[in-house]
């Protein structure tokens, strides 16, 4: 079974975090954070300064 792990990070941390993913050969996708849903309540002050990263992994690897 696969599991999706999602994180919303600041753009300033993007290169550092994705660089580590690339070193460890972790596949990920990223997209801009939309201005709706839970993200607005959590990050309403700086929503446009964030990027969403999603990782799909085997469930056993995420434990």
Domain ranges for the chain: 2-62
State residue 62's pLDDT score: 64
Q: If pLDDT is split at 50, 70 and 90, which confidence band does 16 have? A: very high
pLDDT score for 39: 53
Closest by Cα among 14, 49, 44 to 30: 14
Tell which residue, 23, 24, 15, 21, has the closest CA to residue 54: 21
23-59: pLDDT as tens digits = 988 888 888 776 655 555 666 677 677 788 888 777 7
Residue 41, pLDDT score: 62
> What pLDDT band is residue 19 in, cutting at 50, 70 and 90?
very high
């Amino acid at each position: 079974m696969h599991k999706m792990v999602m994180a919303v990070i600041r753009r300033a941390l993007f290169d550092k975090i994705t660089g580590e993913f690339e070193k460890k050969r972790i596949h990920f996708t990223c997209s801009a954070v939309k201005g709706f849903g839970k993200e607005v309540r959590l990050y309403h002050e700086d929503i446009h300064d964030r990027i969403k990263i999603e990782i799909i992994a085997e469930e056993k690897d995420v434990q």
